[in-house]
Chains A and B, each alone.
Chain A
Amino acid sequence: MKKIFQKLESLSSSEIMGNILDGSTEPDPSREQLKEIKKETIKNLEETPDFEAIVERQRNSFKYLYFTAAFIGSVCLIGVLLYLVSMLPQYGVENPRTVEVVKRYVEHGLEETGAVNIVSGMILDYRAFDTLGESHVLFTALICVNILLRIDIKNMRTDYEDYYTIKRDVYYDMSHDGILRLAALVFSPCILTFGIYVLLNGQISPGGGFSGGAVLGAGLILMSAGFGFDKVDKIFTLKINNIVTFSALTFYSFAKGYVFFTGANGIENHIPKGTPGAILSGGLILPLDIAVGIVVACTMFGFYSLFRRGSVASKVND
């Protein structure tokens, strides 16, 4: 192939044009010549490098390298981990460095936080800063989904898009289905009540903000799936969602900031702890639980409705 191109390139344009203008055509090639040309072409074709084979060879060599590197890496990792395991303290033997914090939490947790459920006392009192960050992560995720997926009159490109979105939503709407409607009718009150129960009993029994909020969010999703978005839109819109989430997080931040400030400076914070075991006990744990639960429920329901139809409210229609 290369040689043919070289031949063509070596011919100057005037030569070609001259041939044509003169009308002098070369005599037709004979049978022998044709055979030779054919042979030459086949030879040229055979001489061209086989690119697929080259790629295949490179791929194979990469595979070989990859497996070697993976094997060496795995062996090194296993060695390091086994070495570290050998350095762990023996099981069952008390290790003062690691047990110190646990001992403090278990022995003094009840009197210091006022929460019977020591896990709630830990995540909302001793380590409230961590929980604050987690709630803000949820809020940030909701904001990002809002930015990416929200459909609004202001950012709608055409009327057609609007129409298409609504049509699609109606097409996939299952709320006319009797079975789902009955299941939602039976279940959503129970689920919502159970969610509130878990939320309010966070400091005296297993549960708390995150689990209660997840149950509440699931109940809201079931409600909107069973009765349609129109029913939910009457009590819960995107604006309300954002306001509620924002105020819950602000309350959390300020309340916990107050406690951090007073605690760091050794000032009395005047928050009553209450009797352990009662609903109104544990100081700030109950309100903080409610705030976290609201954030989680709003985030779950917001995710669902934004992914489902690009909006929490039905304001798209008007």
Chain B
Amino acid sequence: MTPEWIRFYITAGLITIALTGFAFSVIGVWRFDYILNRMHAGGIGDTFSLFFIVSGLMVSASAPIVILKLLLPLLFMWFSSPTSTHFLSQTEYYTSGHLFDHVRRRNSGDTNGH
């Protein structure tokens, strides 16, 4: 078992984890009805799966400059995707008329969730 093969197996494992995450993410985006649930599913793909796929590619890359270049989109996505998700959920919270059909407040003492 040469180091090249070990590296290949590590890469393959990481990318498999990432693809599984993407599969869950896609299924969630298609199957859920409400925007906050779908955003959660999409966020899994954007952060979790992206991290594993980029780290798999980083393990397989040999040149340090390539590893640095791969790190940049990961950082960019880890900043920008949660920010945009935050704003989407804020907009939904402030403007939606049907928010409490889907969301229940904890410890409010109200069984209807209002």
Contact = CB atoms under 8 A, between A and B. Distances in A.
Interface of A: 174, 177, 179-180, 183, 186-187
A179 B80 contact: no
Interface of B: 76, 79-80, 82-83, 86-87, 90
A187 B87 contact: no
A186 B83 CA distance: 12
A179 B76 CA distance: 14
A174 B87 CA distance: 9
Contacts of B80: 183, 187
B87 A180 contact: yes
Contacts of A186: 79
A183 B82 CA distance: 10
A179 B90 CA distance: 12
Given A179-B83, A180-B83, A187-B79, 14 more contacts: A174-B87, A174-B90, A177-B87, A177-B90, A179-B82, A179-B86, A180-B86, A180-B87, A183-B79, A183-B80, A183-B83, A186-B79, A187-B76, A187-B80
A179 B79 CA distance: 10
Nearest to B84: A183
Contacts of B82: 179
Contacts of B90: 174, 177
A187 B79 CA distance: 9
A180 B85 CA distance: 11
A183 B87 CA distance: 12
B57 to A, nearest CB: 21
Contacts of A187: 76, 79-80
10 contacts: A174-B87, A174-B90, A177-B87, A179-B86, A180-B83, A180-B86, A180-B87, A183-B80, A187-B76, A187-B80
B73 to A, nearest CB: 12
Contacts of A183: 79-80, 83
A236 to B, nearest CB: 23
Contacts of A179: 82-83, 86
A177 B93 CA distance: 15
Task: Name the 9 nearest CB pairs between A and B, nearest first.
Answer: A183-B83, A179-B86, A183-B79, A179-B83, A186-B79, A180-B83, A187-B79, A183-B80, A174-B87
Contacts of A180: 83, 86-87
Contacts of B79: 183, 186-187
A174 B94 CA distance: 12
Contacts of B86: 179-180
Nearest to A184: B83
Contacts of B87: 174, 177, 180
A180 B79 CA distance: 10
Nearest to A187: B79
